[in-house]
Amino acid sequence: MTHSRFFENVSYYFDKAAKHLDYPKGLLDQIKICNSVYSFKFPVKMDDDRFEVIEAFRVEHSHHKMPVKGGIRYSDMVNEDEVKALAALMTYKCALVDVPFGGAKGGISINVKNYSEKELERITRRYTSELIKKNFIGPGIDVPAPDYGTGEREMAWIADTYAAFHHGEIDAFACVTGKPLSQHGINGRKAATGRGVYYGLREAVRNKQLMDKLGLSTGLEGKSIIVQGLGNVGYHAAKFLQEDGAKIVGIAEFEGGIYDPNGLDVQAVFEHRLETKSILNFKTAKNFEKSEELLEVECDILVPAALENQIHDGNAPNIKAKIVGEGANGPLTPGAEEILLKKNILIVPDLFLNAGGVTVSYFEWLKNISHVAYGRIGRRYEESSVKNVIAAIEELSGKNLSDSQRAQIIRGASEHDLVNSGLEDTMIISFNQILEIMNSRNLSDLRTAAFIKSLDRIAKSYFELGIFP
């Protein structure tokens, strides 16, 4: 599968939406292009004393809001076109969910399986120092985060390297998000993208008008779902969807897929894969040696939560799901999208559905620059106020609450509660904004509506800056 047209694909969606807006061509061109593309190579010493040249990228797509924001991907498929496309998607994603950042993305062309932890640490620290040299990282400049192949561990190395180069800079730890909790991270960031996928799909299936068109009942209860990818996004999305009553009937990974029409226990599958190093042979589930075949199995919702270009002209005609929820960035090619739309399949687009990660990254960044954890100041006060209200009501009514009722009512919001509430609110508001645009403009798909919302916001901010008076 070639990835060399990913940026072109994102631009295609941009153009499709731009036709519905009345902005000058120059402004639209400015939004569409990548502002800065940094492509670089550096040597790293391996454990056996060999030197290896590492190829890496950081692309800042749009500086209309600062800092710019987006993950760093470690994969041997990383190339400039891919990073540009992912950076552009970050711009549109942030604007859509009203996160005040421009878009960026980074990538290192390595297969993490071929490197030891020490080698990965040296690669990550050196990558960070290259970004520092060129001013491509900083709390008010460019703030990376995890993506495919990276996680809390890499973010901690990045933060530590940046802090070492910026001794005394009080906001240094806001230079990257997705950090471990002990390193100024935030509760709920790790699960955030998957949780956002769950909130987003829950919102879509709640809508009677949309479900009627698909011949589906409203609500997640009993909906059959196939998930591609049991990484951070796929695992959490599947888990939350299952907890709310959906049936995860299939999970696809590199090594193959498994299918059980009665539903798979996501947590048990996750542990089975950790233990046996393969998803296959899980209890009585049916094995799919070719995992891509699982995407073509009948289900209500298909959630590609792995990589781009997974559904293309070749397999799109065989997709039988009624809804495709894009957990990954760019899992459909434009050709596939056209085929699916003709088949009356509802596509819940990536720039909305997987925006939970960057939304909670924004909360982490705010926590870092404000130097106080959410709930730290108000929680006890909130609890004692509620205690006083309960005491007054008990005295007036002559009746008392049970201890467990009291504890439940009194409990003030923790950081985790606040983060999840902000995330839920963001996903609900954004979905309804997209839907409103789709209906009022008589559009046939959610992606075009999402791009319209996003472009309109970005264009307006350029006008507010006075750049296009």
Residue 308 as a binder of ligand GLU (CB under 6 A): the answer is: no
Residue 216 DSSP one-character state = -
Residue 308 DSSP one-character state = S
Give residues with Cβ within 8 angstroms of 197, minimum separation 6: 233, 236, 237, 240, 241, 303, 305, 325, 327, 353, 354, 356
Least distance in Å: CB of 69 to ligand GLU? 4
Least distance in Å: CB of 383 to ligand GLU? 32
If residue 23 lies in a helix (H) or strand (E), which one and from where to where? none
- Residue ranges in 319-338 that form contacts with ligand GLU under rule CB under 6 A: 329
Helices (H), 180-277: 189-206, 208-214, 232-243, 266-276
Following DSSP, what letter does each residue of 140-161 receive, concatenated? TTEEEEE-TT--HHHHHHHHHH
Least distance in Å: CB of 223 to ligand GLU? 25
CB-nearer residue toward ligand GLU: 153 or 320: 153
The SS3 assignment for 456 reads helix
- Residue ranges in 350-379 that form contacts with ligand GLU under rule CB under 6 A: 354, 357-358, 361
- Residue ranges in 174-213 that form contacts with ligand GLU under rule CB under 6 A: 177
* Size of site (CB under 6 A) for ligand GLU: 11
- Active site annotation includes 105: yes
Among 67, 71, 103, 149, binds ligand GLU (CB under 6 A): 71
Name the residue number minimizing CB distance to ligand GLU: 71
Least distance in Å: CB of 329 to ligand GLU? 6
Least distance in Å: CB of 37 to ligand GLU? 18
CB-nearer residue toward ligand GLU: 228 or 329: 329
CB-nearer residue toward ligand GLU: 145 or 340: 145
CB-nearer residue toward ligand GLU: 280 or 332: 332
Task: Centre a 10 Å sphere on the Cβ of residue 239 and count the other Cβ atoms it contains.
Answer: 20
Residue 426 as a binder of ligand GLU (CB under 6 A): the answer is: no
Residue 147 as a binder of ligand GLU (CB under 6 A): the answer is: yes
CA 185 – CA 364 distance, rounded (Å): 6
Task: Centre a 10 Å sphere on the Cβ of residue 423 and count the other Cβ atoms it contains.
Answer: 25
CB-nearer residue toward ligand GLU: 86 or 459: 86
CB-nearer residue toward ligand GLU: 185 or 357: 357
Residue 107 as a binder of ligand GLU (CB under 6 A): the answer is: no
Chain centroid to CA 384: 37
CA distances from 359 to 79, 148, 184, 355, 364 (A): 26, 17, 17, 6, 9
Closest CA to 36 of 88, 73, 1, 72: 88
Among 67, 70, 138, 325, binds ligand GLU (CB under 6 A): 70
Give residues with Cβ within 8 angstroms of 159, minimum separation 6: 172, 173, 175, 176, 179, 183, 184
Least distance in Å: CB of 99 to ligand GLU? 9
Least distance in Å: CB of 200 to ligand GLU? 13
Place of tokens 């800092």: 67
Question: Mask: binding to ligand GLU, 160-179, rule CB under 6 A, as x and -?
Answer: -----------------x--
Task: Centre a 10 Å sphere on the Cβ of residue 436 and count the other Cβ atoms it contains.
Answer: 12
The SS3 assignment for 184 reads coil
Question: Mask: binding to ligand GLU, 50-69, rule CB under 6 A, as x and -?
Answer: -------------------x
Least distance in Å: CB of 436 to ligand GLU? 24
CB-nearer residue toward ligand GLU: 183 or 278: 183
Closest CA to 249 of 269, 233, 278: 269
| Choice among 105, 190, 239, 322 that is catalytic | 105
CB-nearer residue toward ligand GLU: 71 or 229: 71
Residues identified as active-site: 105
Binding site for ligand GLU (CB under 6 A): 69-71, 145, 147, 177, 329, 354, 357-358, 361
